[in-house]
Structure 1
Amino acid sequence: LKEFNSLSLLFVSGWISVSASESHTVEVQSGGDVTLMCSNMLSVSSVAFWFRLVNTSNVSCVSVMYNADTAEYCNGFQNGRFNMSTNISTLFLQIKQVNVSDSGLYFCGFYTSGNLLFSVTYLNVEGKFIRKSFASILLLTLQNKLTIVILGAVMVFLLNVIIVLVVKIRKLQRGTFSELYIYIHCIIMLKKYRGQRMYLSLSHS
């Protein structure tokens, strides 16, 4: 518990450069398959991931990939319905047999060259309308090219990826090398940028 708290405080006290470059809306019928996409920014020593944000506070890590290697799937997303893959230009997240609970904001993110880059896709599965308002507000913010300082939803999902990885590694009796590497990479990133000013530059390409 002591190590867990220290990591959380390190993240809160550190400042990371964050920028959002894309926003999309995807609509699909319940029971169908859908593939979410974003521009591939993977390079040497970079980490890519997908997160899902439902409402304004329910954040879930979906999957993580290091340097275009095999994807690791987070708890709750290891049922075979989710498949993260990449090619030279695009990062994909395929979701099979979608249902209304799959609706939400999906963040495609990259840790690369000391920066956190991400794009946002709102997935609307038919019959899931209650979350449309929040998604519309966020997408409108992106489209208006606002520059803000935020400790809101982005802070929550970034903090959660660190927490999820720490808890997962501590609970596993034998962890995989890739999980351990991601954990170490995140720690190095946070320490390296401790004390720098955090900002969120939102621009719609």
Structure 2
Amino acid sequence: MSAMALLLCSIGVLSVCLSSQAGLTVEAEPGDDVTLWCQHSLTLSSYIFWLKQTNISVPVYTACKYYSVSSSSSNSCFFITESNRSVMSVNSMNSSLTITAVNHSDSGLYYCSSLEGKYMIFSNTTYLQIRERNEIFSKNTDTATEAVCTANVVTVLVLVFGAVIVVLLSALLFLLFIILKYRKQFREDSDSKLKEEKEEQDGEMMNYAALNFSNKKNRRSHRRVEAEDPNIIYSSVRQWDLVQ
């Protein structure tokens, strides 16, 4: 009777089958030993099952125990054949399923359930994913490639920014050199113009002094001639009188 109820529940014909929230994803490599856990809430002695489901296939029973609440002991179920690599254990709160030397065929969704009256109570689920070693190597290679690419990008950015900084500094220094050269040339031109203007002013002052001196000399000569003229006239008149 119990086996028939389990079969009906597994294909969805039993009236109610309750389920809880999804569990975790466990990843393993081929050859590893994996232990999966689930909780139960049995208050009366009953069966606890571990099931495995792949894709959309019907769940398959992988292990079963009859748990006695009074003695806290469990016995194997005679109607389910367990795998030699699957070891199930039960205590008052949890149940575990240990799969030794896993391989790719062990991948799938695992969950445990307990039979309470006419209901199957399902616990949290765990997805077991067996990765191939070449996938792990490929993943590590991709990670290393990404790291190398990131390092190359950083190096290129550093070189580009360094080149931009060098160009900007060179342009700034060249501009500063042009400004200083222009200021020096402007200062030299200003000094040369001031010197020429000063020389012109000095020349004009010398010409003015020479001209002024010449005018004074001429004036003195005129005065001397005018002063000597009466004597000359007087002497001439007197000589004329003596002759007569």
TM-score normalised over the length of structure 2: 0.43
Q: 1:108 aligns with which of 105, 112, 119?
A: 112
SS in 2 for 1:20: coil
SS in 2 for 1:101: helix
Q: Where does residue 129 of structure 2 map in the other structure?
A: 124
Do the aligned partners of 1:99 and 1:125 also contact (CA within 8 Å) in 2?
yes
| Deviation string, structure 1 residues 111-159 (Cα, Å, up to 9, x no partner) | 125532212110001139xxxxxxxxxxxxxxxxxxxxxxxxxxxxxxx
The alpha carbon displacement at 1:56 in A equals 1.0
Q: Structure 1 residue 70 and structure 2 residue 75: aligned? A: yes
Q: Structure 1 residue 29 and structure 2 residue 34: aligned? A: no
Q: Number of residues paired by the alignment?
A: 119
Structure 2 CA distance for aligned equivalents of residues 17 and 114 of structure 1:
9
Over the aligned positions, Cα root-mean-square deviation in angstroms equals 2.7
By relative contact order (CA 8 Å, sep 6+), the higher-ranking structure is: 1
Structure with more strand by fraction:
1
Q: Structure 1 residue 42 and structure 2 residue 46: aligned? A: no
Structure 1 CA distance for aligned equivalents of residues 102 and 13 of structure 2:
38
- AA partner of residue 36 (structure 1): L
Residues 54 and 41 of structure 1: CA distance in aligned 2, closer, same or farther (over 3 Å): same
Structure 1 CA distance for aligned equivalents of residues 13 and 53 of structure 2:
23
- AA partner of residue 52 (structure 1): K
Residues 126 and 115 of structure 1: CA distance in aligned 2, closer, same or farther (over 3 Å): same
The alpha carbon displacement at 1:14 in A equals 4.4
Structure 1 CA distance for aligned equivalents of residues 21 and 117 of structure 2:
16
Higher Cα Rg, which structure: 2
Identity of aligned residues (%): 32
| Deviation string, structure 1 residues 56-80 (Cα, Å, up to 9, x no partner) | 11532111112251233734x43x2
The alpha carbon displacement at 1:86 in A equals 1.5
Do the aligned partners of 2:38 and 2:111 also contact (CA within 8 Å) in 1?
no
The alpha carbon displacement at 1:22 in A equals 4.2
Q: Where does residue 85 of structure 2 map in the other structure?
A: 81
SS in 2 for 1:124: strand
5+ residue gaps, structure 1: 129-205
The answer to which of 85-94 and 98-107 deviates more is 85-94
Residues 113 and 27 of structure 1: CA distance in aligned 2, closer, same or farther (over 3 Å): same
Residues 90 and 15 of structure 1: CA distance in aligned 2, closer, same or farther (over 3 Å): same
SS in 1 for 2:105: helix
Structure 1 CA distance for aligned equivalents of residues 60 and 13 of structure 2:
23
Structure with more helix by fraction:
2
- AA partner of residue 63 (structure 2): S
Residues 12 and 38 of structure 1: CA distance in aligned 2, closer, same or farther (over 3 Å): closer
SS in 2 for 1:70: strand
The alpha carbon displacement at 1:107 in A equals 1.8
TM-score normalised over the length of structure 1: 0.50
Structure 1 CA distance for aligned equivalents of residues 62 and 105 of structure 2:
14
